[in-house]
Structure 1
């Protein structure tokens, strides 16, 4: 049930946010999300106008619908992306009263501003004043900062060329501990998203802290996977004068196949591929000296590395489905000399992820980061 923000119910949206104070910053931010609520679900449509012969704008449009972050908040809105130049955000937050989940305050906060991209492919959020503004009740504003060094490829149709280069260049070994054993895979010339003093804004609740992010999320051109290296991705934040650092490691594996799934509303939907999430929070780190790639057991090591059979450890698991279409696509010559689509012109995206033993702060931090790297994550 939605509670209207009127004097008869809540004095203002700020009253709903203030209600969380009774829980205390530490208890709510660090509280483990109940298993039946620990989900990340929702949908998004992406119109890649930069790839369509019907469009002259060159601006891709991302429309986010009901992206529900556990029993914490729901995101709705749009992102306009001009490839290689900027992303312009207008994403609104509905927030849920943790002391009374039946109370929902609509459009209490908004993620807005520009995520600008410089000539070297670096994403610079503070150059465009990207921020989360609480616009109802006790109004506050918290900005994003630092930078993200983007992948070398910013246009979908350059992937083939980059893959050919990767086959001839350096390799990198990725390792993790599976069932007490170190398993490793080898990736040819991965392309990193590098987080450089990246700052995630606090909010929209007062107990969700400002967070610093460092590390890499590497892209594998051969298989279309995202991977963390031995350093993982680190999230550092402070709650009630206590400092915390979470290490997020693992993979987001791409599977190209056709099928169907049932969404949270019970509706059957088609897909042309999906990303399978197998991200772990604070799992056992692998010493660099333990990393060793055995070419003779490459397939077995790969199967073990990407296996998501064990979902008992703190992490984020599940699938993000894509249904891609290429109607009215621009064309370029492929490796065979024939004209081929430069990429999908539209993607229908559906999140179906579960958070295992994560806190509210941990899941909120990941969602904020994923919103920042929305462009690169959806390129393929």
Structure 2
């Protein structure tokens, strides 16, 4: 039996606002016809303001990984070379997704806990002049590191290579300007900073990306995630069915509600609110003897990681908070398994009180496992 009352303090899915859940629970509308098509287009218009792009946007039912698969598989041919930034678990995931389409990946690495550097991508492009694209995770949730995508995007534009950004965990929670930062392709997900339930992967495609996509044979890497298929329906069936599949209508309704909340609050205002939550959490962690994984100048406003008490596998902390306090946090991934905890504060509904409640539960755990600090 699932616990229905868990407080979600994880890096997604988040707990949406009640109005968003109410929209999700509305009667199911038909996914075609003028009424829903107008509503769908309104939702894309709202999303365009968050992504900051004049390019094309699609809502692909599925996880963020479906959107990533669509971007990489549509824009590149089997055997083409892709530089992939790796400084955490989800950079490694980009490699796995790219290689599933037969792409040749070249890693551009940084130590876990450190951001990627544009200078390293410049050196990699010098060493691999045949590389066609660069792929980077914006917010690497395994380490809470935000990578400098504006700098990397400027480099990609200068060198004439495509730039793909995994914005699954960042869109709506970190500054993001697709067009101004030279991003050609972007994939995100609704269940994190966008404030909606899981189920949709927003994908944005710029004009340089379409040039690359249009030279790829239509049978290159599948049908469902082929962005040319999505464009065909968006254009040829625009007046009644602008997508190639049965759209997840209630997910679109929830996303529409969450985007209206975000834009009504103001993106800058919400980002500053998230930053305040992060600073409150970091101060509290230090007070109970838990050291944040990154210094404050490298904080991610929507996600915080910290080391556990010495000698205590952090999986014990995760289990304790869920069992004893009804609070769900996350542990470390990959190389950081059982070394850190990760606390998400990317929901629009997260408050100071949620931060304080989480800190109180962590304090109790620490008192029981290492003595009060």
Q: What TM-score do the two structures reach when normalised by structure 2?
A: 0.24
More helix by share: 2
The structure with more strand, counted as a fraction of residues? 1
Q: Per chain length, whose mean CA-contact separation is higher, i.e. which structure has more relative contact order (CA < 8 Å, sep 6+)?
A: 2
Q: What TM-score do the two structures reach when normalised by structure 1?
A: 0.24
